[in-house]
Structure 1
Amino acid sequence: MSNEQTNQPLKPVNWGVLGAGNFAQKVSLPGMKQGPLTQLAALASRDTVKARAAAQALGIPKAYGSYEELLADPDIEVVYNPLPNHMHVEWTVRAARAGKHVLCEKPIALDADIAETLTSVQRETGKLICEAFMIRYHPQWRLAREWVQSGRIGDLVSVQTAFSYFNRDAANIRNRKDVGGGALYDIGCYAVNTSRYLFGREPVRAVALIERDPDFGTDRLTSGLLDFGGAHLTFTCSTQAVPFQRVNALGTKGRIEIEIPFNAPADRPCRIFLDDGSILGGGAAEETTFPIVDQYHLQSEAFSRAVRTGSEVENGPEIAVGNMRVIDALFRSAASGGWERIARRGAQP
């Protein structure tokens, strides 16, 4: 009988963090440390001084000067992997084989074949592996999906997504092609993942257009179209455009608009809108406002709860592989100039 069934409080889960990157220190870890089930117990960097400074700033008791030391710590139960994209699979595999569950940042790999490694490693080790699409834990996305599934907007026929920011810093990993930088890997993956989440099925083919930065070689502007069989995702993502994000889900009877779909703020409420289209310009839209939450906190707590109770996690490796199959097809399409088929295997999104 589980703790939840006996109403006993669950024991906190000890987490270890690989790396001391800016994103982890300033965005994800502050939310994760809110607990109560997620206990940030150790942080590792290849620079001992950097590890100690980051751990001290975040109130993490242990600091290691190598990733291997953290994986060897028997007290660590879960590893959070926010390393650069090209290091995700290697260190997720090493962590799982060291007996740790793993929450790995997106994109979980740089192509589907490499990502497939993680499905076999999860079976081999029995450890939970999850791609960190934190948006799936935010109540605005849970409600949007509920509205779609319950028919509040009729049949979902189109999802339209825009996501952009401006960054031309040559030293930033998002502008380094060799480590998996570029718009599609960094933010286009959200459009792919959330459309699969709303439609509840896989797309069958993809077409894309990519504009590459002449200095970095990364895709700085990517637009794509996914065919879900009678329904579409259309999206644009860019690393060199005005900061903006928005999702519109169009149905046969209504529309859902998510105002801040991806970087949902942790310091103010979020809003989504349900519109029957009876007044042009959204005049008939009904607003739903959500209390302040931190989606990184919700994500880590859900993962910790799954570790303690044996429940399923969102966005496991098979679903993550499905996302990479779509991204692979989009890259192939940009190169070929035509539609590319997407393999349909694995778990439903």
Structure 2
Amino acid sequence: MGAERDEIRWGIIGCGNVTELKSGPAFNKVAGSSLLAVMRRDAEKLADYAERHGVPKTYTSADALINDPEIDAIYVATPPGSHREYALKIASANKHCCLEKPMALNFAECEEIATAFEGLDAQLFVAYYRRSLPRFNKVKEWIDSGRIGTVRHINWSYARGPSAADLSPEYDWRTDPAVSGGGHFVDLACHGLDLFMHLAGDISEAKGIAVNQQNLYDAEDAVSACWVFDGGATGAGFWNFGASDYCDEVVVYGAKGNIRFSVFANQPLVLEAGEDCAITEIPHPENIQFFHIENMVKHLNGVGQHPVAGAEGGKASRVMDQILAGFR
């Protein structure tokens, strides 16, 4: 592709709900970035999205958007089942690519995608945006500075009741394993598992038990797992999508203290290490992918390093494959 432009011109494939507030507007808010085109098969919804967000170009064909010579980078915001197809086409066009999470249906597809980008000028990213959020950068700063000592264990407890979509007879791709790769566990837990590897190093081995307790859909709705990090720290978690009460709490246990936080909620970050205590509130930005997009633009312009580039984005999928091996 030659030298990178000062402004990265983006196209989006799949302008659904995730792009309305979480990501879409941020492509125009980040310095050196602009949203040039969007693609959606439904022409009426496509035109409405483009008008509301001020996007100059629209396509009902993904291939046409990918091959638009004015587009430098493409954000794939479709369900995971189509990520491999689009990513391989984007790699063939030698254009930068950002895939929504999880990176693909399974780790084998992630490896195929990463291999396709090896040796290209084009860069590959995955939207594990929590690695770029200031609130989790603060947690990493606390850990890396030794305030809780060596990390010994990370525990995540997550529970919630069934959603309206779970209880509806209408089709929901999020709980169709052929399209999403699994159920809500795959959709949500990948965020935390990726974040934990950012905080404590790669997970070398994971095991899990998954069941379907409610029989509302074909995918798992209750999962328990344990894992070990390369450095020897351990981890465990449970995720239940049929519980009466909401819970989202992570505890990082260290040799000298611990840190508590929530993966999804705007809860305070709490550090407790003897007399060294801190409670910090760092809210999510209006567009939660803003800092992730900013880091991609910096990476592409050679002034920074995105934390989830290349094969890094497939590591959470490898862990989830191990956890769900028995259920699948």
* Map of 1:290 onto structure 2: 282
1:196: Cα distance to partner?
Answer: 1.3
1:321: Cα distance to partner?
Answer: 2.5
1:102: Cα distance to partner?
Answer: 0.7
Specify whether residues 89 and 49 from structure 1 end up closer, same or farther in structure 2 by C-alpha distance, changes over 3 A only: same
Specify whether residues 48 and 194 from structure 1 end up closer, same or farther in structure 2 by C-alpha distance, changes over 3 A only: same
* Map of 1:208 onto structure 2: 209
* Map of 2:248 onto structure 1: 245
Unaligned runs of 5+ in 2: none
Is the counterpart of residue 98 in structure 1 residue 67 in structure 2?
A: no
Give me the whole-angstrom Cα distance separating, in 1, the residues matched to 2:127 and 2:159.
Answer: 20
CA contact (8 A) 1:140 1:271 kept: no
* Map of 1:221 onto structure 2: 222
CA contact (8 A) 2:94 2:120 kept: yes
Aligned with residue 301 of structure 1, among 283, 287, 294: 294
Give me the whole-angstrom Cα distance separating, in 2, the residues matched to 1:52 and 1:197.
Answer: 39
Q: What do residues 91-146 of structure 1 show as CA deviations (whole Å, max 9, x unaligned)?
A: 11211222320111111011111111122111143311111101000112112112
* Map of 2:173 onto structure 1: 173
Is the counterpart of residue 324 in structure 1 residue 317 in structure 2?
A: yes
* Map of 2:233 onto structure 1: 231
CA contact (8 A) 2:111 2:314 kept: yes
Give me the whole-angstrom Cα distance separating, in 2, the residues matched to 1:143 and 1:122.
Answer: 32
Give me the whole-angstrom Cα distance separating, in 2, the residues matched to 1:219 and 1:90.
Answer: 25
* Residue identity matched to 1:185: V
CA contact (8 A) 2:251 2:258 kept: yes
Specify whether residues 334 and 176 from structure 1 end up closer, same or farther in structure 2 by C-alpha distance, changes over 3 A only: closer
1:17: Cα distance to partner?
Answer: 0.4
Q: What do residues 126-175 of structure 1 show as CA deviations (whole Å, max 9, x unaligned)?
A: 31111110100011211211221221101111111133443214422212
1:330: Cα distance to partner?
Answer: 0.6
Q: TM-score, normalised on structure 2? A: 0.88
1:301: Cα distance to partner?
Answer: 1.2
1:247: Cα distance to partner?
Answer: 1.7
CA contact (8 A) 2:224 2:238 kept: yes
Give me the whole-angstrom Cα distance separating, in 2, the residues matched to 1:39 and 1:172.
Answer: 32
Which secondary structure state, in structure 2, belongs to the residue aligned with residue 89 of structure 1? Answer: helix
Unaligned runs of 5+ in 1: 4-9, 265-269, 279-283, 336-349
CA contact (8 A) 1:222 1:236 kept: yes
Q: Which moved more, 1:164-173 or 1:12-21?
A: 164-173
Give me the whole-angstrom Cα distance separating, in 2, the residues matched to 1:21 and 1:39.
Answer: 18
* Map of 1:341 onto structure 2: none
* Map of 2:259 onto structure 1: 256
CA contact (8 A) 2:140 2:199 kept: yes
Q: Which moved more, 1:111-120 or 1:198-207?
A: 198-207
Which secondary structure state, in structure 2, belongs to the residue aligned with residue 144 of structure 1? Answer: helix
Give me the whole-angstrom Cα distance separating, in 1, the residues matched to 2:29 and 2:265.
Answer: 18
Give me the whole-angstrom Cα distance separating, in 1, the residues matched to 2:325 and 2:219.
Answer: 15
Q: What do residues 31-60 of structure 1 show as CA deviations (whole Å, max 9, x unaligned)?
A: 343222221111001122221111111121
Is the counterpart of residue 272 in structure 1 residue 269 in structure 2?
A: yes
* Residue identity matched to 1:290: I
Identity %: 23
CA contact (8 A) 1:134 1:296 kept: yes
CA contact (8 A) 2:203 2:227 kept: no
The 5 Å alignment of 1:1-349 reads 11-165=6-160, 166-167=162-163, 168=166, 169=168, 170-180=170-180, 181-211=182-212, 213-228=214-229, 230-241=232-243, 242-258=245-261, 260-262=262-264, 271-276=268-273, 285-290=277-282, 293=285, 294-309=287-302, 311-334=304-327
Give me the whole-angstrom Cα distance separating, in 2, the residues matched to 1:131 and 1:164.
Answer: 25
* Residue identity matched to 1:251: G
* Map of 1:7 onto structure 2: none
Specify whether residues 277 and 141 from structure 1 end up closer, same or farther in structure 2 by C-alpha distance, changes over 3 A only: same
Specify whether residues 190 and 312 from structure 1 end up closer, same or farther in structure 2 by C-alpha distance, changes over 3 A only: same
Specify whether residues 212 and 251 from structure 1 end up closer, same or farther in structure 2 by C-alpha distance, changes over 3 A only: same
Give me the whole-angstrom Cα distance separating, in 2, the residues matched to 1:332 and 1:291.
Answer: 36
CA contact (8 A) 1:102 1:127 kept: yes
Give me the whole-angstrom Cα distance separating, in 2, the residues matched to 1:71 and 1:164.
Answer: 39
Q: What do residues 213-236 of structure 1 show as CA deviations (whole Å, max 9, x unaligned)?
A: 524111112121112364222112
1:285: Cα distance to partner?
Answer: 4.2
1:193: Cα distance to partner?
Answer: 1.0
Specify whether residues 164 and 58 from structure 1 end up closer, same or farther in structure 2 by C-alpha distance, changes over 3 A only: farther
